[in-house]
Amino acid sequence: MRRALCPVETLYVGQRSRAVLSCTLRGRLDTGALSAAFDAVTGAHPSLRSRIGRDGEGVALHLLDEVERPRLDTRTGPVEDAHSAELNTPLSVGGPLSRAVLVSAPEGDRHLFVLSVDHTVVDGHSGIALHNELWDRYRALVEGGPGQQRPRTTGDPEWPVPVSRLLPPGDEAATAAYLERRAEEARRHPVELVPYDVTDPSGGEARIEVCSLNLDEERTGRLRRAARAVGVSVHALVAAALLTTARRHLPGDEPRTLGCLSPIDLRSRLSPPVPALVMVPAVTTHLQTLRVAPDTDPVELARTVHARVGEFVKGDGPYQEMRITPEIPSNPTLQLATVIATNMGTVPGPRLPEGLQAVDVRLVPAREHYFPAAGRSPVMACVVSFEGRLAIEFPYFTACFSPGFVRAFRDGTGAALAAFTDRTPEPSPAPTG
Return the CATH number at 85.
Answer: 3.30.559.10
Query: What is the distance, to the nearest Å, from the Cα of residue 157 to the centroid of all Cα atoms in its chain?
Result: 27
Residues 155 and 185 in one domain: no
Q: Which of 37, 135, 138, 23 is nearest to 83 (CA)?
A: 23
Residues 100 and 232 in one domain: no
Query: What is the distance, to the nearest Å, from the Cα of residue 145 to the centroid of all Cα atoms in its chain?
Result: 32
Would you say residue 332 lies in a domain? yes
Would you say residue 362 lies in a domain? no
Q: Around Cβ 313, how many Cβ atoms within 10 Å?
A: 17
pLDDT-based confidence at residue 147 (cuts at 50, 70, 90): very low
Would you say residue 428 lies in a domain? no
Residue 383: in which H helix or E strand, if any? strand 379-386
Residues 251 and 289 in one domain: yes
Would you say residue 355 lies in a domain? no
Q: What percent of the chain has pLDDT over 70?
A: 95
Residues 270 and 152 in one domain: no
Residues 130 and 180 in one domain: no
Residues 229 and 308 in one domain: yes
**H helices present in 249-316, as ranges:** 298-314
Point out the domain boundary residue: 137, 163, 189: 163
Terminal CA-to-CA distance of the chain, rounded, Å?
68
| pLDDT at site 155 | 64
Write out the residue range of the structural domain in which residue 24 sits: 2-163
Residues 271 and 415 in one domain: yes
Residues 135 and 255 in one domain: no
Would you say residue 324 lies in a domain? yes
Point out the domain boundary residue: 131, 163, 195: 163
Residues 106 and 187 in one domain: no
Point out the domain boundary residue: 163, 183, 200: 163
Cβ pair 433, 403 in contact under 8 A: no
Distance CA 292, CA 246 (A): 9
Would you say residue 152 lies in a domain? yes
Would you say residue 6 lies in a domain? yes
Would you say residue 358 lies in a domain? no
* Beta strands, E only, 64-202: 73-76, 98-104, 110-118, 194-195
Overall domain count for the chain: 2
The CATH number of the domain holding residue 182 is 3.30.559.30
pLDDT-based confidence at residue 394 (cuts at 50, 70, 90): very high
Residues facing residue 290 across a β-bridge = 258
The whole-chain average pLDDT of the chain stands at 93
Of 152-161, 211-220, 260-269, 301-310, least confident by mean pLDDT is 152-161
Residues 406 and 386 in one domain: yes
Q: What is the pLDDT of residues 46-99, one digit of tens each?
A: 999 999 999 888 899 999 999 999 999 999 999 988 999 999 999 999 999 999
Residues 113 and 253 in one domain: no
Q: What is the pLDDT of residues 220-261, one digit of tens each?
A: 999 999 999 999 999 999 999 999 999 999 999 999 999 999
Residues 137 and 173 in one domain: no
